[in-house]
């Protein structure tokens, strides 16, 4: 129908308008690589004891003796063909490394987001429906506290409590116990793969490894989500059309569930997009704490080892994920809010 057409048109324009941003990130990472200390040619030559001639040869092969703009064009061509360079630390092409490690990061992030949303929405709604009551104060207190604890501290304290003290959680390193057998790789998501392989033991093992890092990250984003839900729900409950619905004698369930909630979810949707990208950033910290073999820890290790191709690849990946997430949010928003086509 026309709504569908307007949503797709809007999504199309949004995609086109996000291309400059993507290009900007590419150019940024390119410049980043050029200003970083160290000579890329030395990295890509056979080793630190490579001869001067060999380095010069590598430099020529990599096009580093060409003008900067020409190099940029080469770089763009490389990206377009999926060539993100080679990592020094792993010796693998960056693209392959990222493909190998991305599911770990995504599995963690999605689990955390689902966890956070299932907790934050009911809490925020409950608080908004009982303003000034005990539940409201409790939620507000938890939210205030939640944004104050850095992920790396809460992660470590969770390890202390559930691994060291209680012994409930497994050794907090990696996605699977070293003795466990990984399921055949299909999606790369361990939970899904073990489900496909009907391997309950592995699934459980993977889940028990996942729960602490996911909880750490969920705790971090719980507060902004619950806060936004509460604020937006309160604002909607105080609006004129809710008074109208009450004046027309609609049932409480209908007023809250259909009239208030659907409207209140619109700003929450926007925040969820921002929260998702915050989580992508927070991944760096959480993956480090839990030795999680994801893309963020990969990029961090590379960064600390002055291995820049993976860092570039990582930033590019983040930018692409960010574009996809924003487009998804846009489409969802377009479906949820009929007013959007007007603007």
For the segment 194-253, give every residue that binds other proteins (CB under 8 A): 227, 230-231, 234, 238-241, 243-252
Residue 147 in the binding site for other proteins (CB under 8 A): yes
Q: With beta carbons less than 8 A apart as the criterion, state whether 282 and 147 touch.
A: no
Q: CB of residue 106 vs other proteins: minimum separation in angstroms?
A: 14
Q: CB of residue 54 vs other proteins: minimum separation in angstroms?
A: 27
**Whole-number Å distance between alpha carbons of 223 and 289:** 21
- Whose CA is closest to 169, among 218, 117, 211? 211
Q: CB of residue 254 vs other proteins: minimum separation in angstroms?
A: 7
Q: Could you say which of 280, 292, 294, 313 contacts other proteins (CB under 8 A)?
A: 280
Nearer to other proteins, 42 or 235 (CB): 235
Nearer to other proteins, 168 or 241 (CB): 241
Residue 10 in the binding site for other proteins (CB under 8 A): no
Q: Which stretch binds other proteins (CB under 8 A): 45-53, 59-67, 111-119, 159-167?
A: 159-167
Residue 17 in the binding site for other proteins (CB under 8 A): yes
Q: With beta carbons less than 8 A apart as the criterion, state whether 334 and 6 touch.
A: yes
Nearer to other proteins, 21 or 27 (CB): 21
Angle at 154 between CA 149 and CA 157, to 5 degrees: 135
Residue 273 in the binding site for other proteins (CB under 8 A): yes
Q: CB of residue 69 vs other proteins: minimum separation in angstroms?
A: 20
**Unique residue bearing structure tokens 């939620």:** 139
Nearer to other proteins, 3 or 8 (CB): 3
Q: CB of residue 332 vs other proteins: minimum separation in angstroms?
A: 13
17-45 b/e (C-beta count within 10 Å ≥ 16 → b): ebeeeeeebbeebbeebeeeeeebbebbb
Residue 121 in the binding site for other proteins (CB under 8 A): no
Q: Could you say which of 164, 186, 196, 257 contacts other proteins (CB under 8 A)?
A: 164
Q: CB of residue 35 vs other proteins: minimum separation in angstroms?
A: 6
Residue 305 in the binding site for other proteins (CB under 8 A): no
Rg (CA), the chain: 24
Interface with other proteins in residues 63-92 (CB under 8 A): none
**Whole-number Å distance between alpha carbons of 239 and 220:** 30
**Whole-number Å distance between alpha carbons of 275 and 117:** 11
């Amino acid at each position: 129908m026309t709504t569908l057409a307007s949503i797709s048109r809007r999504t199309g324009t949004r995609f086109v308008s996000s291309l400059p941003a993507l290009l900007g990130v590419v150019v940024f990472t390119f410049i980043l690589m050029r200003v970083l200390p160290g000579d890329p040619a030395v990295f890509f030559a056979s080793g630190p004891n490579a001869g001067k001639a060999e380095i010069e040869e590598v430099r020529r092969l990599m096009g580093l003796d060409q003008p900067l703009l020409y190099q940029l064009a080469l770089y763009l061509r490389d990206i377009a063909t999926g060539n993100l360079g080679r990592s020094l630390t792993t010796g693998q092409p960056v693209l392959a490394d990222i493909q190998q490690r991305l599911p770990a990061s995504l599995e963690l992030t999605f689990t955390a987001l689902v966890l956070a949303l299932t907790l934050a929405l009911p809490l925020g709604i409950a608080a908004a429906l009982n303003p000034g009551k005990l539940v409201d104060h409790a939620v507000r207190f938890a939210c205030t506290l939640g944004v104050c604890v850095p992920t790396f501290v809460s992660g470590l304290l969770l390890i202390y409590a559930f691994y060291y003290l209680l012994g409930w959680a497994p050794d907090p390193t990696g996605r699977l116990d070293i003795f466990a057998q990984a399921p055949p790789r299909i999606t790369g998501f361990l939970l899904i793969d073990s489900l496909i392989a009907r391997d309950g033991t592995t699934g459980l093992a993977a889940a028990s490894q996942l729960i602490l890092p996911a909880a750490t990250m969920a705790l971090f984003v719980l507060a902004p989500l619950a806060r936004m839900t509460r604020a937006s729900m309160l604002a909607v409950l105080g609006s004129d059309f809710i008074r109208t619905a009450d004046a027309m004698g609609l049932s409480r369930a209908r007023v809250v569930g259909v009239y208030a909630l659907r409207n209140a979810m619109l700003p929450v949707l926007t925040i969820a997009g921002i929260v998702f990208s915050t989580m992508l950033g927070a991944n760096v910290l959480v993956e480090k704490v839990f030795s999680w073999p994801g893309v963020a820890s990969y990029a961090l290790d590379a960064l600390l080892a002055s291995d820049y191709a993976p860092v570039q690849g990582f930033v590019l990946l983040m930018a692409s994920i960010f574009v996809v997430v924003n487009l998804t949010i846009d489409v969802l928003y377009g479906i949820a809010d009929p007013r959007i086509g007007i603007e």
